[in-house]
Chain A
Amino acid sequence: MGEPVHKIGIACTVNGELRRFRAYPMARLLDVLREELHLTGTKEGCGEGECGACAVLMNGAMVTSCLVPAAEADGAEIRTIEGIATGGQLHAVQEAFLECGGAQCGICTPGMVIAALTLLERCSHPNDAEIREGLAGNLCRCTGYQKIFVAVVRACQPAGEGQPSIP
C-alpha cells in the first residue's frame, strides 16, 4: 500500500458559477458533479468512456466525465446539461429533441444533447455523414438514432421553419 491520498481543493466554473470543493485528485469528475455538486443530469452508462452518457463540456470541448480525474477540473470551465437551457428557455437542440422524438427513455439524452451542441458549434449545418460522426461516441439503445438525426437537422433550422426530413 502506498502513501494515503488526501483530498485537494478544487475551484472551477460550473454552468457559469464558481464552485469550490474538496475531492480526491483521481476521483471521477462524473462522481464529483453528481455527488458533490448534486448535478445528477450527467449520467453513468458504462464507466469506461464508451457510451457518452456522462458527456459534459470542459473548456468548450466534449469530454466523457467518467474518464476525467477531478484534479483536471481545477481552473476549468465546465458546462453540464443543467446549464444548457437558460432561464427556463430550452436551447434549440433541446426543443428539437422534444419536437422530433429524439428522447425516449432519456438516459442518453443529456450526453446526446451535449454531443449535438458540440457538433453544431463546430459545423452549423452538418450533413448526414457529419451528424453520424458527431454522435458516434454516444450510444442510444431506444431510438435507432433516426429521430436524433432529425432533431439535429431541426436544431439548425430557424424556429417555425417546416418539418425536417430524415437525412
Chain B
Amino acid sequence: MEHKLLGQSVVRKEGRDKVTGRAQYVDDLTLPGMIHGVTVRSSIARGRILGIRYAGSFPWHEFTIVTAPDIPGKNEIAAIAHDQPCLADKIINHPEEPIVLLAHPNKYLLEEARRAVEIETQPLPAIFSIEDSLARREIIAGEDNVFKSYLVCKGDVEAALAQADFIVEGEYRTGSQEQLYIENQGMIAVANPRDGVTVWGSMQCPYYVHKALMVLFGLPAEKIRVIQTETGGGFGGKEEYPSMIAAHAALLAWKSGKPVKIVYDRAEDMAATTKRHPSRTRHRTGVTRDGKLVAMEIDFVIDGGAYTTLSPVVLSRGTIHSPGPYFCPNVRIRSQAMATNAPPHGAFRGFGAPQSIFALERHLDQVAKAVNLPPEEFRRRNFLRQGQTTATGQVIHEDVDLARLLERALRESDYHAKRERFERENPGASVKRGVGFATFMHGAGFTGSGEVTLASVVELEATPEGSVRILTASTEIGQGTNTVFSQIAADALGIGYDRIEIACPDTGAVPNSGPTVASRTAMVVGKLVESAALALKQELLQSGLLCDSCTEDEFVRGCRRYIETRGPLRTRSQYEPPPGLFWDDINYTGDAYGAYAWAVYVAEVAVDTVTFETRVTDFVALQEVGKVLHPLLAAGQIEGGVAQAIGFALYENVVWHQGRMANGQMTNYIMPTSMDIPPIRVFFEEHPYPFGPGGAKGIGELPMDGPAPAILSAIENATGICLSEIPATPEALMDAMTQKAGPSG
C-alpha cells in the first residue's frame, strides 16, 4: 500500500466549521418545545435523606420533578460495578450527589427553584483522605473501603533487598486535577415509552452512555440512541460522566414528554464531574553499589472518591506503569483504590500513569544520589532493553533504545551545558535556574485483555455519490480522529482525502468501536479502519469492477456500478489481537499492552526565590511513537499534553473542603495561559509498529506522564529542594525553602 497521505499534515477534516463558529456543540442546539433541566444536589458529604421539601412561593406544579422512584429501570449508572446511583434515594455518599431533578421552560426561574428545594438530612461521619480510608476510620464502601487492589510479583524482593548495597525509601503524592475542557458538559434528551430514549451531547464514549441508559430504563438496545455532538475537549472528563447527565436529561424528558436540555455551568461542572485521582506512592528500592536496580517494592494508593466508577482500571494502568521503563529482576507492587466521601474521581489523560510515574522518576533521582551517580547515568544502567521483561513479565520485543533517546534529548536541550552554567550563575542570584528530565513509557490501548473483551468493530460503506463513509463510535474531541481516520482510509483505498466521509457517532448508525480513550483510537481503531478499507477495495477487485492500479475516477465508477448491480457496498472489520499476546488477569502477568511509546522529556525552570514562583522556561519533548501519521496533529497532542502537565506540576491545585472542591472557578483554579507555557520543542523518532495503521502507536496520553517529574527535578537542580508532592505551588516551595534555611529571627 502506498502512503500518500499518512505522514502528511492535511487540513483538519472539520476545521473550517470550527474556525468559522459553525460547528454545533450541544449547547448550540435547540429542539422544538425543548425545556431546561437542573440537578439538586446533596449539601453534606455523607448521611441519610430524611425528606425533600419544595419550599418558597414557586408554581411547583409547572415544574417536572424527578426523584429516584421515577426511574423506570435500575437506579444505577452502569459501569464496572453497580454501586453508583443515578439519583440518591436514602443514602448520601458525597457532597455533590444528585437527589432531585427539575425541568421548566424558563431557565432563570429554574435556577431559583433549584435553590428552594430543601433536602432534609441526618449527617453521618465522613472520611476525606487516603489515610483515613486505609485506617477504616469509617467504613463507607464494601467491607473495607477498598474498591480494587492488585498485587504484581516478580522474583524475590525480600532476598534481593537483603543483599542490596543500598536501600532507598521515599513517599510521593500527587493532587487532584480538573480536566477543564473549555466546553462544559451537557446533554439533550427526547424520551417516551413508544420511541424509547434518544440523547445528543458532549462525550467521548457513545456506547458507555448507551449501556447506562439501557439499564436505567430497562429498555432493549434498539430503543436507545446516543448521538455525539461536536465536543469541546474531553481529556477523560467525558469518558464516564456523560452517562450521568444523559440519564438525568432522559429521566426529565421521559416524565415531562418534552425534549430536555441540561448544560452545566462551569461551577457545577467543576464541582460535580470527575477529576484526576489523588495518589500516594511509597517506594523501597534496593540498588547495588554500581547503580543496578535489584529490588523495587512499590505501594501505590489512589483516592477513588465515593463510588467505584473507573477506579479499578485507572489503578491498573497506574500499577503497571509504576516501575517505569527500567529492568529490575525483583519487583513487588501492591496497589489499592480507596473510597472517600468526595465525588468519584475518574478518567483523566494518562489514567493513573502520571501519578505513579511522577513518584518513580522523583524517587530514582534520590536513588541516583544515594549511589553517587548522575541521574542520567543511573538511568542508563537500568533501562529496559529488547528481550528483557517488565514487572508483569512482558518480554520487550521492540528494538527499544532508551539510552539513545536520552542522549538525544539531553543534547537537544543542551542539558549538560545548562547544568554547568546554572551551577556557576545561581549562587547569589535571586532567580535560580535549573534543568531536569524524566524518562518514561506509556502503553497504548486497553490494558491486558481489555481490547479482546471490547472486540471493537468498524464499518466502511461506499456511497452512490462516490465517497466512502467511515462508521465508528470513535469520537472527534479535538485530537484529530476524523482527520487521521480519513488519511488511513484514503491511503488504503488509493483515493483522495476529500472522498472520505466520517459518519456521526450515533449508536443508531455506527458499530461499537469501543470508547475514545487509552491512546487507542489511531492505533487500534485506526487499524480496523485500514483493514475495512482494504477489504472494501478487495471486494471491488474480486467483483471485477476495478483493476488494481485504478484512478480515483475509476474507483468512483466501480463503486457506483457495484451499488447499482449488487446493492450496498459495505465492509466490516473486527479487532483481533496481534499474534503472541498473552495476559493473565488473575496473577496480573503477561503482555500488559500491545505497544509502548517511549519518551524523554527535559524541563528548564526559573525559580524566583523572592516570590517562590516557578516558571518553565524551556521544554524538550522527545518520543518514539511508531510512525507519525500527521505531524501537525501529533505535535499538537504533545504540546497540549505538556501544557496540561505543566498545570498539574505547578499551578492546578484542587482545594478540598469536606469532600467538596472549594475553588471550583476559573478565577481561583489556575490553568496555564499563553504567558505560562515555554516554547515546547517536540521531536519524534519513528520505529513503525507492525500492528498499527501505517506503523502508528498511541500518542494522546504519553505527554501527560513526563513533565511533572522533569519539572520537579529541575526545581531541585535550581534550589537544592527536593519536593515530593505536586502541585509545587509557591506556597509549597516557600514552606520547603524556609524550612531548609532554618528558623530565622
Do A and B interact?
A: yes
Question: A141 interface residue, CB < 8 Å from B?
Answer: yes
Question: B142 interface residue, CB < 8 Å from A?
Answer: no
Q: How far is the CA of A140 from the CA of B643 in the complex (A)?
A: 10
Residues of B within 8 A of A143 (CB): 636, 639-640, 643
Known A45-B182, A103-B18, A105-B478; judge A146-B233 contact (CB<8 A): no
Are A103 and B12 touching (Cβ within 8 A)? yes
Q: How far is the CA of A104 from the CA of B35 in the complex (A)?
A: 31
Residues of A within 8 A of B667 (CB): 48, 50
Are B671 and A80 touching (Cβ within 8 A)? no
Known A90-B19, A90-B20; judge A142-B233 contact (CB<8 A): yes
Residues of A within 8 A of B184 (CB): 44-45
Are B677 and A146 touching (Cβ within 8 A)? yes
Question: B23 interface residue, CB < 8 Å from A?
Answer: yes
Contact of B182 among A41, A101, A108, A146 (CB under 8 A): A108
What does the 1/0 interface line of B168-181 toward A look like (CB < 8 Å)?
A: 00000000000111
Are B665 and A48 touching (Cβ within 8 A)? yes
Residues of A within 8 A of B179 (CB): 141
Question: B732 interface residue, CB < 8 Å from A?
Answer: no
CB distance from A58 to the nearest CB of B (A): 17
Residues of B within 8 A of A100 (CB): 632
Residues of A within 8 A of B680 (CB): 144, 146
Question: A67 interface residue, CB < 8 Å from B?
Answer: no
Residues of B within 8 A of A53 (CB): 182
Residues of B within 8 A of A103 (CB): 12, 15, 18-19
Are A46 and B666 touching (Cβ within 8 A)? yes
Are B21 and A140 touching (Cβ within 8 A)? no
What does the 1/0 interface line of A46-71 toward B look like (CB < 8 Å)?
A: 11101101000000000000000000
Question: Which of the candidate stretches B24-32, B316-324, B397-405, B423-431 sits at the interface with the other chain?
Answer: B24-32
CB distance from B454 to the nearest CB of A (A): 24
Residues of A within 8 A of B231 (CB): 105
CB distance from B225 to the nearest CB of A (A): 23
CB distance from B601 to the nearest CB of A (A): 13
Q: Which of A46, A94, A104 is the most central at the interface, judged by chain B CB atoms within 10 Å of its CB?
A: A104
Question: A85 interface residue, CB < 8 Å from B?
Answer: yes
Contact of B21 among A47, A82, A138, A141 (CB under 8 A): A82
Residues of B within 8 A of A146 (CB): 635-636, 639, 677, 679-680
Q: Which residues of A3-54 have CB atoms within 8 Å of chain B's CB atoms?
A: 34, 39-48, 50-51, 53
Are B266 and A47 touching (Cβ within 8 A)? yes
Residues of A within 8 A of B22 (CB): 41
Question: A75 interface residue, CB < 8 Å from B?
Answer: no
Known A98-B15, A98-B16; judge A42-B21 contact (CB<8 A): yes
Are A106 and B232 touching (Cβ within 8 A)? yes
Q: How far is the CA of A99 from the CA of B12 in the complex (A)?
A: 8
Are B24 and A84 touching (Cβ within 8 A)? no
Residues of B within 8 A of A148 (CB): 674
Q: How far is the CA of A161 from the CA of B235 in the complex (A)?
A: 35
What does the 1/0 interface line of A81-110 toward B look like (CB < 8 Å)?
A: 110110000100010011111111111111
Question: A125 interface residue, CB < 8 Å from B?
Answer: no
Is the interface on chain B under 10, 10 to 19, 20 to 34, or 35 or more residues?
35 or more
Known A101-B9, A109-B18; judge A51-B679 contact (CB<8 A): no
Residues of B within 8 A of A123 (CB): none
What does the 1/0 interface line of B644-671 toward A look like (CB < 8 Å)?
A: 1000000000000000000001110001
Question: A135 interface residue, CB < 8 Å from B?
Answer: yes
Residues of B within 8 A of A101 (CB): 9, 12, 632-633, 635-636
Q: Which residues of A143-166 have CB atoms within 8 Å of chain B's CB atoms?
A: 143-149, 166
CB distance from A40 to the nearest CB of B (A): 4
Residues of A within 8 A of B27 (CB): 40, 43-44
Are A99 and B679 touching (Cβ within 8 A)? no
CB distance from B30 to the nearest CB of A (A): 8
Question: B642 interface residue, CB < 8 Å from A?
Answer: yes
Residue of A with least CB distance to B478: A105
CB distance from A129 to the nearest CB of B (A): 9
Contact of B230 among A50, A51, A106, A142 (CB under 8 A): A106
Q: How far is the CA of A132 from the CA of B14 in the complex (A)?
A: 26
Q: How far is the CA of A101 from the CA of B483 in the complex (A)?
A: 12
Residues of A within 8 A of B677 (CB): 144-146
Are B181 and A139 touching (Cβ within 8 A)? no
Are B183 and A45 touching (Cβ within 8 A)? yes
Contact of A99 among B11, B18, B23 (CB under 8 A): B11
Residues of B within 8 A of A48 (CB): 266, 665-667
Are A136 and B674 touching (Cβ within 8 A)? yes
26 contacts between A and B (CB under 8 A): A41-B20, A44-B184, A45-B266, A50-B667, A51-B666, A81-B20, A82-B20, A99-B11, A103-B15, A104-B233, A104-B479, A105-B232, A105-B233, A106-B17, A107-B181, A108-B232, A113-B19, A131-B674, A132-B674, A132-B675, A142-B233, A143-B636, A144-B636, A144-B643, A145-B643, A146-B635
Give chain A's interface residues, CB within 8 Å of chain B.
Answer: 34, 39-48, 50-51, 53, 80-82, 84-85, 90, 94, 97-110, 113, 131-133, 135-136, 138-149, 166-167
Give chain B's interface residues, CB within 8 Å of chain A.
Answer: 9, 11-12, 14-25, 27-28, 179-184, 230-235, 265-266, 477-480, 632-633, 635-636, 639-644, 665-667, 671-675, 677, 679-680
The 5 closest A-B pairs by CB, nearest first: A41-B21, A107-B232, A105-B478, A106-B18, A144-B643
Known: A51-B666, A146-B679. 17 other contacts (CB 8 A): A43-B183, A44-B265, A48-B266, A51-B182, A53-B182, A84-B20, A97-B19, A103-B12, A105-B18, A106-B230, A107-B181, A143-B636, A143-B639, A143-B640, A144-B636, A147-B635, A167-B679
